[in-house]
Structure 1
Amino acid sequence: MRDVIIIGAGAGGAVVAKELAAHGLDVLVLEGGPRHAHPEQQWSRLENDANNPLSGYFRVGPEDRTKPAFYREFPQNGLLWQVSGVGGTTQHYFGNNPRAYPGVFAGYNGPDRGMYDVRHRFPFSYDDFVPYYEWVEATLPVHTAPMGTKEEVYFRGCETLGIPVQTTKTTLGPSYRPQENAILPPGGKAGLTTDPKQLSYPTSTGCTFCGHCFQGCVSPVRAPRNLVAKRSADNSYIPMALTAHAWSPSGKAITLVSDAMVTKVRTANGAARGVTWRENATGDVRSEDAKVVVMCGGAVETPRLWFNSELPNPNDWVGRGFTDHYLDWTFGLFDHDVGSSRGQVSAARTDYPGYGMIMNVGLMPGIEAFAMTFSDSGIRGHYTNGRGMEGPWDGPTGRLVGPELKAAMGHGIDRILNVVSIVDDDVTPDNRVTLSAMPADEQGAVPKVRFLNRGRTKRSVRNREFLARKATELLHGAGARKVHRMDWPALPLHVHSTMRMGQSETDSVVDASGEARAVKRLFIADNSALPNAVGGPNPTITTQALATRTSEHIMRRYFGGDPWVRTEAPVVSTDDRISHGLIELGL
């Protein structure tokens, strides 16, 4: 019998694996997608090869790319964009790690208290949670992003908004700042040359400004896996967990099994006792027992597995409350080079607590064209789907096609500045994951994700409109000669809250420790456990801090361990760099 079985090796599962293995537990991690152990050979950086949701190496599916992707029913207009495999969706994330706004936590009494989703707060205070943020920030580690041309142009627009520069990690009000992100800073020749011969380890260390964050980070070339620049879970927490024997009291590391889909969480006497999984390559079915099971499959697969395991759902909140930051896209066309394709993809942000945030994004041509042709307002100049919203942007919203798309893209990728709106979206019970009536796959009934833009709360709609106008104001202030707003349909990239933690038993699945209310010894430690949309900031660091906190509760409750997160952040010194993944581990 194992001490702990963790289902999923994404942002949350990797953290739990590292923290529990470091404290001597026998941990088995089961991941449904592949482990890209040699990304320099396995990833091409071609946009379609990476991001095609059916056949790309970043998809939700088995390791064998000749086999179909795992099916999810998504009945509305839109696209559910996630990644399976070791590292999960962090494999293509931008590395942005801002903290949640204090207003989404219990006990907040600021003057803007009523501007948040007051019914669905974290069941503890922001101050109580700060040590967990500090722990993750030091472990990844998190740094202030380096600035480039597009950030200079973005900040020029921010200066016209009448808000100050933010100088603290805690967001206290409307402000702008460089991103806090989990990308190692450039060192050596990185950032000083474009000569590929000099952009390899150890001549260069950290970020080389290649601009390919969305296609997965392999920079600098020949760097050990744990020293690759972007601190996605497969480059940071997983290497730490795999080498936990170097500092754990038991001398154990985790056992990691990839390309293995868990099909059932088994229980006995109201408590989790183990799991059953299927190996994707062979079809073999295996089972193993554990004292504790931790579900970290994400906001879609975790409720799906719960339902397929026929676990109890006494308050009918399993799968409910799906939030996604109600994303929108605004971009400006400039008459000069703004460096959109160069440097870290997103290194500057603007915060509006109570509404959400906006940030710059630089993309390669394929994903840029996708962003311009993705709209809930029909085709500009042809039809509007009853929307076609007018505003300070130039013309109605809607997708660009034909000559207009050619003109925008032909203008040059480096003369486009993108701003994405990330909304503080309300928890809505009708946005949810259920089981589909479509044919089951090898893992059981497939998930159905009901996610409607037009069923949002008035506050979510208000927040989105506010941020789109601020993005337009910023772009005009930065000197854009033309600004387009897309009015994106549902694009769940930041997905949370389907197994939410909460203050009340009536509308939450897990308690304040992360343990399921209906099944003992069963914990949830992925984005689905977030009680709300964290105010709008990117969710990864909040999920990882919450997973750290949940790991602490697992140790204290079931393994007699003392808490290890103190009021001071851990210091990364020469002697303890190995526990933070910052020395060569040969992975």
Structure 2
Amino acid sequence: MRDVIIIGAGGGGPVVAKELAERGLDVLVLEAGARHANPEQEWSYLENHMNSTLTGKFRVGPSDPTRPGWFRELTKPGSISQVAGVGGTTLHYYGNSPRAMPGVFAGYRGADRNLYDTRFRFPFTYDEMRPYYEWTEATLPVQTAAMGKKEKAFFDSAEAAGLSPLTGKDVTRAGFRPQENAILQPGGNAGKTRDSSQLRYPDATGCTFCGHCFQGCQIPKGAPRNLKARRSTDNSYIPMALTADLYKPGGKAVTLLSDAYVTRIISDRPRFSLGRVARGVEWRDTNTGETHSEEARVVIMAGGCIENPRLWHNSELPDFNGWVGRGLTDHALDWVVGQFPHDVGGTEGAASSSRADFPGYGSIENTANMPAIHANNLSDSNTGIRSLYDNGQANTGSWDGKSGRVYGTELKDMMSDVNRLMAVLILTDDDVEYQNRVDVSQAFTDEHGPVARVRMEKRNRSRRTVRNRNYLTNRAAEILRAGGASKIIRMDWNPVLLHMQSSMRMGDSARNSVLDENCEARAVEGLYIADHSALPNAIGGPNPTLTSQALATRTAEKIFQKHFGGDSWVSRESPVSSINDAVTRAVIQRGI
């Protein structure tokens, strides 16, 4: 019997694995997708090669690209931007690591306290969360982003629009700031040349400003895996988990199995008990089709906001209050693009290194992409085709004309020089709403059982969510206008399910939450959740990965205390950084 089984090696599972392995527990991690052990050989900078939902390296599907991806049923138009595999969706995230807005936590007394989703706060205070943020920030590590041309252009525009700079990590007023991101600072030749021969490790360290964040991070070339620039979990927590026995006295290396799709959580109802107890899992080898089972004292779900509800329902676990899969938040994303008469560095450097925050409304961030992704983002709209038809949703604001999908000669003109484009991603603080949910399809099954069904309707959102989204798109357009943009377009995106939270939410009440304050399932003892789905709300709008990983650190500590008789470590130890010299030696020794 294992001590712990973790389902999923994306953004959250490896955090718990590393923390518990460092304390000597026997941890098995099961990941349904591929493990990309040699990214320099396996990956490229070609967008379709990496990101195609049909055959790309970064898709939700088996490791064999000739086999079809795993289907999810969407009941309304939209798209899902996720990745299966070791590293999960952090494989193509931008490393943005801001903390949640303090106003989404219990006990907050700031002047903006009533601007948030007051029905669904964290079941503990921001002060209690703070040390877990600090621990995670030191482990990854998180640093203030390196600045360049596009960042200066955004800051100058924000200041011209009347915003002022923000300092520190706790946001309680509107303003602009550099990103806090999980990307190693450039060193040596990095950032000083485009000559690839001079950008190999150790001549170059950290971010080399290649601009291809969405295609995974394989730079600097030749660097040990734990010294790759962007701190996706395959570059940070996974190397630490797999070498915990080498760099940490008393540690035990994690066992990681990829191509291992968990199809059922095994549980039983002990005698004289009203609830169920998790005992282990059943999983299927996606290459051979063979099925296996494993037992453990604790089972942790970290398969994400879509797969966790699916697995719960397919395991026939109890849903006594009807909240399993409910309350899905997605930051109601939108995209506002300004075209400038001059170069604003639209594709230079790390993909997103500057932001503006608006407590109670959400956040916006300057987001640079390579041409194919820019074109894709300009071609998705719920409104219709710009200047041609509007689906009955003609809407105007601080942008130019009606919103909608760009096409034809206008698209060609905008794409003629992407360095003159400043794109702003809208991250809405959207409400937890019961009707937005993930369950299982009544029509479609695959080899793993009924597939996930996602019900997310953009047009049926709360008044506050709609207000917040419109407020942020207008503020983004005002910033672009103040900076000198000659054209501003709002896309009014269909649901783009990239930032997802809350489908298995924690909370302070058994009436409307799946998890208690320690992220243990209320209906199944010994079953925990450690990813975005555990978040109780949309965290005020900031990017969710850091908060999810800090919460997973807290959850690991609670598991260690309750089930293994351990003590708290965050309050009395210093974290080991993923780029610590001892970790690097262990990674090289083990050949990871």
1:240–1:578 CA contact under 8 A, matched in 2:
no
**Secondary structure, in 3 states, of the residue corresponding to 2:364?**
strand
Alignment of 1:191-202 (within 5 A): 191-202=191-202
CA contact (8 A) 1:140 1:580 kept: no
Partner of 2:363: 357
Partner of 2:454, secondary structure, is: strand
Partner of 1:232: 232
Offset at residue 388 of structure 1 (A)? 2.6
Which residue in 1 is equivalent to 2:223?
Answer: 223
Kindly indicate whether the alpha-carbon contact (under 8 Å) linking 1:24 and 1:248 is maintained by their aligned counterparts in 2.
no
- Say whether residues 1:255 and 2:271 are aligned partners: no
Matches within 5 A, 1:14-29: 14-29=14-29
1:35·1:85 contact (CA, 8 Å) conserved in 2? yes
How far did residue 395 of structure 1 move? 0.7
- How far residue 510 of structure 1 moved from its aligned partner, in angstroms, is 0.5
Which range is displaced more, 488-497 or 243-252? 243-252
Q: Give TM-score, length-normalised by structure 1.
A: 0.98
**Aligned counterpart for 2:512 among listed residues 507, 513, 533:** 507
Distance 1:213 1:308 in 2: 35
**Which residue in 2 is equivalent to 1:419?**
424
Q: Can you list the C-alpha shifts for 1:275-295, whole angstroms capped at 9, x where unaligned?
A: 000000000000010000000
The answer to whether 1:552 aligns with 2:580 is no
Shift of the 581–175 alpha-carbon distance from structure 1 to 2, 3 Å rule, reads farther
Query: Partners of 1:169 and 1:443 in 2: how far apart?
Result: 42
- Structure 1 residues 46-68: Cα deviation after superposition (integer angstroms, max 9, x where no partner): 11111111211100000001000
Offset of 1:570 from its aligned partner?
A: 3.7
Q: Which residue of 1 aligns with 2:283?
A: 277
Q: What is the percent sequence identity of the aligned residues?
A: 57
Superposed CA offset, 1:439-467 (max 9, x none): 31111100000001111100000000110
C-alpha distance in 2 between matches for 1:44 and 1:355 = 37
What is the alpha-carbon distance in structure 2 between the residues aligned to residue 176 and residue 78 of structure 1?
Answer: 30
Distance 1:583 1:166, change over 3 A: farther
Following the alignment from structure 2 to structure 1, what is the Cα–Cα distance between the partners of residues 3 and 421?
52
**Alignment partner of 1:389 out of 395, 398, 421:** 395
Partner of 1:348: 354
On the 8 A contact 1:265/1:306 being kept in 2, the answer is yes
Distance 2:494 2:71 in 1: 20
Measured after TM superposition, the shift of residue 232 of structure 1 is 0.2
Q: Which residue of 2 aligns with 1:496?
A: 501
TM-fit CA distance, 1:161: 2.8
SS of the residue 1:513 aligns to: coil
Can you list the C-alpha shifts for 1:492-518, whole angstroms capped at 9, x where unaligned?
100010000001100100000110000
Deviation at 1:78, TM superposition (A): 1.1
How far apart, in 2, do the equivalents of 1:47 and 1:446 lie?
Answer: 27
1:92 pairs with 2:88: no
Q: Deviation of residue 132 (structure 1)? A: 0.1
Amino acid at match of 2:201: Y
| Paired residue secondary structure (2:425) | strand
* Structure 1 moving runs of 4+ over 3 Å: 247-251, 567-574, 576-586
Structure 2: state its 5+ residue gaps. Answer: 270-275
Show the 5 A alignment for 1:15-94.
15-94=15-94
Superposition map of 1:6-21 within 5 A: 6-21=6-21
Query: Who is 2:147 aligned against?
Result: 147
Residue 458, structure 1, aligned to residue 437, structure 2: no
How far 1:568 sits from its partner (Å)?
7.8
Distance 1:502 1:519 in 2: 16
Q: Structure 1's 572 and 290: CA in aligned 2 closer, same or farther, altered over 3 A? A: closer
C-alpha contact 1:388 1:398 (8 A) present in aligned 2: no
Contact 1:227 1:581 survives alignment (8 Å):
no
The answer to whether the 8 Å contact 1:318/1:499 transfers is yes
Report if the CA contact (8 A) 1:327-1:422 is conserved. Answer: yes
Cα gap change, 1:414 to 1:581, in 2 (>3 Å): farther
Q: Which residue of 2 aligns with 1:125?
A: 125
Q: Which residue of 1 aligns with 2:273?
A: none
CA drift at 1:371: 0.8
> What TM-score, normalized to structure 2?
0.97
Moved more, 370-379 or 437-446: 437-446
- Does the Cα contact within 8 Å between 1:139 and 1:580 map onto a contact in 2? no
- Helix, strand or coil: the match of 1:533? coil
Counterparts of 2:393 and 2:515 in 1: how far apart (Å)?
A: 39
Counterparts of 1:89 and 1:373 in 2: how far apart (Å)? 22
Distance 1:336 1:581 in 2: 47
CA RMSD in angstroms comes to 1.5
Cα distance in 1 between the residues matched to 2:210 and 2:251: 38
Conserved 8 A contact 1:12-1:547: yes
Distance 1:330 1:45 in 2: 25
Read off the aligned partner of 1:378 and give its amino acid letter.
G
Partner Cα distance (2:127, 2:472) in 1 = 27
Q: Determine helix, strand or coil for the equivalent of 1:554.
A: helix
Report the alpha carbon displacement of residue 549 of structure 1 after superposing the two structures with TM. Answer: 0.2
> In 1, distance between residues paired with 2:32 and 2:575?
32
Is the Cα contact below 8 Å between 2:141 and 2:182 reproduced in 1? yes
- Determine if contact 1:100/1:537 at 8 Å carries over to the other structure: yes
Secondary structure of the corresponding residue to residue 11 of structure 1: coil
Deviates more, 1:185-194 or 1:245-254: 245-254
